[in-house]
Structure 1
Amino acid sequence: MRKQLILGSRLLLFVLSLTGTFLEIYKYGGHMLMYYTVLSNLFVTLFTFYLVLEMVIGKDWERTSLLRVKGGVTMSIMITCVIYHFMLAPLADDFWRVENLLCHYIVPLYFLADTLLLDRPRQYRWFDPIIWTALPLLYMVFGLFNGLVLKIPIPDADDSPFAYFFLNVTKYGWAYVLTYAGTIFVAYLLAGFVLYGLKRLDFTKK
C-alpha cells in the first residue's frame, strides 16, 4: 500500500512539474531554458519520471545512491523557490501566473515534502551537502560565460544577456556579483546541512 501511495504522489508531482516547465517554454519560447528556474524544474521533471519508472519496473527505488542524488535535486529546486521568493518576486509584475506558481512554489515545496516525508532517513553522507553545490555553481559559471562571452540574448531578461540581475558583471561589477554569489553559496551550503540534519530524523515513522 505504501508503495502505491508514493507512486501516485510522484505521478502527480511529475504531471505538475511537466506542466509548469512546458507552459514556461511553450508560452515564452525556448530561451526560457537560459533561466535556472526552468532548468531546475526540467531536472525535477526528468528525475521524477525516472523515480516513477523505477517504481513501476520494480527496481530498488529506495537505494542509498539514488536517495543521495535525490537530496541534490531537492536542494537544486529549493534554491529556485527561495531566491525567487526573497529576491525576484518583489520585482515581478506577473506573479499570479499558473506556470510561475508551479515552477517557483508548488513543485519545489512538493518535492521537498516528498524528500522529507517519503525517503528513508539516514541515507546521506556528511559531505553530500558540499557535492550538492555543484549544480548552482555550474549554472553560475554558465550564466557568466553567456553574459560575458557568448552573449546569447534573453528576450525577457532586463539584464540580458545575463539571466539575473545579480549576475550582471558588466553593470554592477565583480565585487557586487561575487558578494551575491558568495552569500547564495553559503546559504545554499548551510541549507544542505540542514536537510542532512533533518534526514537524520525519521519522518517516515507512523
Structure 2
Amino acid sequence: MKRQVIFYSRIILFILGFTGVYLEITRHGGFGMLLYYTVLSNIIVTAFTAYLLYLMPRSSSAWKTDKILRIKGGVTMCIMITCVIYNFMLAPLATDFYRLENFLCHYIVPLWFFADTLFFDKGRLYRWFDPLLWTSVPLLYMAFALLNGLILKMPIPGAVDSPFAYFFLNIPKYGGAYVFRWVIIIFVAYLGAGFSLVGLKALPRPRKMNSIK
C-alpha cells in the first residue's frame, strides 16, 4: 500500500462521515440529534479523519506517531460501539432501517474507520492500559445521557424513550437494576473489544504492510 492510497481512502471516509452526520441532522430533528451517541461518535470520527488529512501532506510522519495512533485507537473503539450496539440491540427495533444516513452512520463509516486502523496503522504501539482510557468517551456520554433523562429532560427527536436516547438507559421505565445490568454488560464488552484490538495490532504484519510510507 502507498501513502496516496491511504490519503484518498480517508478523503472518501471524510465525505461519507460528513454526509451521514449532515443527513441525520437535517432530516431528523435538527441539532437535537446531537443528543444521540451515534451522531456524536460520527462527528468525532469525521473530525479526526479531517485532522489526519490535514497532517498527511505537511509531514511524512506526524500523522502516524504513536501518540496520534493511540488516540486513533480510542476513536476506533468509540465508533465501533455505535456499529455493534445498533446492529444487535437497536436495529431489530427500527422502523426506518433502510435510510442512507442509517447505513452511513451505523455501518459504513464505523467499519471503514476500523479497517483503516486495522490495515493502515502500524502495530505494537498500544499500551496495556489504553483500552481503559478508551472507555472515557462512552462513559462520559452515558453520564450525560442519564443527566439529560433524569434532570435536564431535553427532548430527543425520534427517541421512543425520550428524554432518554436509548431504551437501556431509561431508569424510570425499567428500573435502576435493569439499566445498571446493561451498562455493565456494555462496559465489559467494550473493554474486551479494546483489548482484542490491542491483540490484533500486536500480531506480526505482512512485509508489504510494514512498508507503508
> Which of the five TM-score ranges fits, normalised by the shorter chain?
over 0.9
1:14 and 1:49 in contact (8 A); partners too = yes
| Separation in 1, partners of 2:90, 2:65 | 36
Map 1:1-150 onto structure 2 (within 5 A). 2-28=2-28, 29-58=30-59, 60-150=62-152
Q: Which residue of 2 aligns with 1:162?
A: 164
SS at match of 1:56: coil
User: What is the rounded CA distance, in whole Å, between the counterparts of 2:130 and 2:101 in structure 1?
Assistant: 31
Contact 2:33 2:157 in 1 (8 A): no
The Cα of 1:160 is off from its aligned counterpart by 0.6
Moved over 6 A (4+): none
1:188 alignment counterpart: 190
Spell out, residue by residue over 1:8-61, the C-alpha distance to the aligned partner (whole angstroms, 9 max, x if none): 011111011011011100111111100000000000000000000000222511
Listed as ranges, the gaps of 5+ residues in structure 2 are: 209-213
The percentage of counterpart residues that share the same residue type is 63
Shift of 1:205: 3.1
Cα shift at 1:153: 1.0
Find the aligned partners of 1:109 and 1:86 in 2 and give their Cα distance: 15
Q: Name structure 1 gaps, 5 residues minimum.
A: none
Larger deviation, residues 163-172 vs 194-203: 194-203
TM-score by length of 1: 0.98
Offset at 1:204? 5.6
Q: Is the Cα contact below 8 Å between 1:120 and 1:204 reproduced in 2?
A: no
2-side partners of 1:38 and 1:121: how far apart? Answer: 29
Q: How many residues align?
A: 206
Structure number with the bigger relative contact order (C-alpha 8 A, sep ≥ 6) is 2
